[in-house]
Amino acid sequence: RPLNLSKMVNVKTQKIVNDLLCSNPFSDETKTGVAADPNSKTIVGLNAIQFGVDRVRSFLKQNNLLSILRGSQCSMEGFQLYSRSSVISIFSALSYASKYDNKAAFLVMKKNCEIAPRIIDTKDSNTGPWSHFDQSVVTIPRGL
């Protein structure tokens, strides 16, 4: 069911929902732990949290998962890999808010857990955005 953030008056509940929806991995993969991102405010007005590769590995192991697929952070290339490819951020909004010149992407997942990002770009106006797909394959790491 959809979350109605305007009805959440409990600060602890707001914090949990905020952290689930708005946390981002550190772009510097040498950083560990968690830290508030002072430059980022979220939908409930709290600072976003950043997390390190150590937290990703722990979460994946505790939940018997191979990777985290997420879609909350604008990426200029349409997708981005973090935490030694254990976190894949996908962004499907082309030219976000008519403000950025970002590409969009979606993922194709094969039965063998190979993930192929497909990039959508508007660089060639003659053929349209759907003709530009990156055919690269990202393999989810098995041994964490």
When pLDDT is averaged across residues 82-107 and rounded to a whole number, the result is: 86
SS3 content of the chain, % helix, strand, coil (to 5): 20, 30, 50
**Amino acid in the structure at residue 74:** C
When pLDDT is averaged across residues 92-105 and rounded to a whole number, the result is: 86
Lowest-confidence region among 6-10, 33-37, 110-114: 6-10
Residue 105 sits at φ, ψ, to 5 deg, of -155, 160
For the sheet containing 114-120, what is the strand order?
104-109, 114-120, 138-139
Token pair, residue 22, equals: 């708005």
pLDDT of 13 > 60? The answer is yes
pLDDT tens profile 34-65: 998 877 766 556 677 899 999 999 999 999 98
* Model pLDDT, residue 44: 58
Q: Is residue 71 classed exposed, middle or buried when 0-12, 13-18 and 19+ CB atoms within 10 A define those classes? A: middle
Model confidence band, residue 131 (pLDDT cutoffs 50, 70, 90): very low
pTM of the model: 0.70
> Measured between alpha carbons, how far is residue 2 from residues 5, 7, 71, 72, 92 in Å?
9, 12, 17, 16, 20
Token pair, residue 123, equals: 């660089």
* Model pLDDT, residue 96: 84
